[in-house]
Chain A
Amino acid sequence: MRNIFIIFGVSGFWHGANWTFIIWGLLNAIYFLPLLLTKRNRANLEVVAQGKHLPSILEIMQMGRTFFLAVLAWIFFRSDNVSMAFDYLSRIFSSSLFTVPDFKDKHMAFITILLIGFFIAVEWIGRENQFGIEHILKKRAKFIRWSFFTFIIFLIGICMKTEETPFIYFQF
């Protein structure tokens, strides 16, 4: 257990001399503890829902839990300092959690959700391979496979964030 904390603590410190990185590392060590204490730390190495099209409810919940904990730790990783991270967390876990999100740009939110859904689907289908799209449509005609790859390139080109001087002239 001591070694786990040392390894994850050092991993955090390796990213930078800031408490935020150390907390990020220690959080990951804490996440690891239940598996270590129950001696199941080598029990989840296989691909999720191997050979099946869809995950079970339990597997969906397990993936959701892992994602939630990882993202929670990344708040510390991404923040400038610890108080900023806690401020961020307090805003997330406030009463706003139970309100309908107020998107400034509803169309953009819709497109973003569509894109996230598409890329999750691609990753899910290709989860048994090193790269998500590695074997997708491999049995199909080359034209279909190449069309799919071209579509992905197009999605990146049409939706990627671009660096521009802020439009102070907007509407002018």
Chain B
Amino acid sequence: MKLFLSSLIKFSAFSFVGYLFLVVFIGSTLPSYFSPNMRFVRGMYGHSHTRFKEADELDKVNTLILGSSHAYRGIDTRLIGSPDKTAFNLGSKAQTPIHTEILVQRYLTKLKPELVIYEIYPWTFTSDGIESTLDLMSNGPMDLPLARIALKQKNPAVFNTAIYALYREKFGLDKEFKQNISENNDTYIPGGFVQSSIHRFRNQAHVNQEWDFKPIQFQAFKRNMNLIENSGAKCLLVYSPITSRRYNSYTNQSIFDSIMNASGTYIDFNPLVELDDSLHFSDSHHLNQNGVEIYNRKLVEVLSSIDFKTDHTRTPFFFSQDLHEKNT
């Protein structure tokens, strides 16, 4: 028994080191298709790398935008901000609340915004967040909060990517890396916005469906709201427009709306902005630049007239009970 335990411990240590070596070796030498569960792509879609670098060099902004691709592709900082009222879009690929929390911890105190526009697409509350974790690992620093998420997600692709990202960071292999401003059909606009070349969407029918929310995302969302509130910034929760067919296909949208309304100043722009599903969208849930301009004009109009809810005007909510009661 003693010999068995001794061998087991020795082999575990050996295989751990060997595994790290193999991940680094395969990641450095072979094309990515040889390692399907190692998804390190520096400078991938969404320009997160360029955005985080720009954010690192900023001192202060007036308006900070958070959220998924609906934020960085839907809220144009050239339209929202002005020379004396700067805006920065910190949206990132499939950013879920647990990842927003990491970015808020990294940048909120540094950028000291007076207003936070927090784009909350319901899908991000249903996601396990693997895609966003991989994006943050590939394009930003591997800090402790990100490592904690990686451990919680218990996903081999996340573990392997974390190992490889850490290796590249520690050896400074991407110090000189600079992502092209224009890639495929996307152009990165300083300020964090990504402008796509205009193409239209051939509308499609959607069968009725339900959002399958994950409590862990709402818990992170609540922490994010507390962090923003404690920083002294005002916060506007926005649901950017998606195609009406897709929007109307969700049968439990009202649950989400009521939770958001109870959490802060929330505006669902879907019923507020008149958009055409084909002319103003590039796919079923992303606006094209024509749609962005119409949406952003409305957003500016709302921002100039809105009364933000203060702490005492909000309805307190407890996510798990709230969702449970409304589901049953």
Contacts and interface: CB of A to CB of B under 8 A. Distances in A.
Contact of B19 (A150, A168, A169): A150
A103 interface: no
A164 B73 contact: no
B23 to A, nearest CB: 7
Given A168-B123, A169-B131, A154 B37 contact: no
A146 B15 contact: yes
A168 B285 CA distance: 10
Given A158-B37, A169-B94, A172-B93, A150 B159 contact: no
B36 A171 contact: no
Interface string B13-47: 01100110011001000010111111000000110
Nearest to B185: A171
Given A150-B18, A158-B156, A159-B37, A172 B128 contact: no
Nearest to A168: B123
Nearest to A146: B14
Interface in A136-172: 146-147, 149-151, 153-154, 157-160, 162-165, 167-169, 171-172
A106 to B, nearest CB: 9
B68 interface: yes
Nearest to A143: B14
Contacts of B31: 107
Pick from A147, A163, A172 the residue with the most CB of B within 10 Å. A172
A71 interface: no
Interface string A114-135: 0000000000000000000000
A165 B128 CA distance: 6
Contacts, number: 80
Nearest to A145: B11
Interface string B285-301: 01000000000000000
A160 B22 CA distance: 16
A167 B128 CA distance: 10
B102 to A, nearest CB: 18
Nearest to B130: A164
B126 interface: yes
A165 B126 contact: yes
Given A153-B19, A169-B93, A172-B69, A146 B37 contact: no
B273 interface: no
Interface residues of B, number: 35
Given A154-B18, A169-B68, A160 B156 contact: yes
A149 B36 contact: no
Interface in B118-153: 123, 126-131
B115 interface: no
Interface residues of A, number: 24
B310 interface: no
B286 A172 contact: yes
Interface in A85-131: 107-108, 110-111
Nearest to B15: A150
B105 interface: no
Contacts of A159: 35-37
Given A111-B33, A164-B131, A169 B156 contact: no
A172 B73 contact: yes
A169 B92 CA distance: 11
A151 B19 CA distance: 8
Contacts of A168: 123
A78 B144 CA distance: 44
Contacts of A165: 126-131
**9 tightest A-B contacts by CB?**
A107-B33, A150-B18, A172-B69, A150-B15, A169-B94, A154-B22, A165-B127, A164-B130, A165-B128
Given A108-B36, A154-B18, 9 more contacts: A111-B36, A147-B18, A150-B19, A153-B15, A158-B26, A158-B160, A167-B94, A167-B131, A169-B93
Interface of B: 11, 14-15, 18-19, 22-23, 26, 31, 33-38, 45-46, 68-69, 73, 93-94, 123, 126-131, 155-157, 159-160, 286
30 contacts: A111-B34, A147-B18, A150-B14, A150-B18, A150-B22, A157-B19, A157-B159, A158-B36, A159-B35, A162-B37, A162-B155, A162-B156, A162-B157, A163-B155, A164-B128, A164-B155, A164-B157, A165-B126, A165-B127, A165-B129, A165-B130, A167-B94, A169-B69, A169-B94, A172-B46, A172-B69, A172-B73, A172-B93, A172-B94, A172-B286
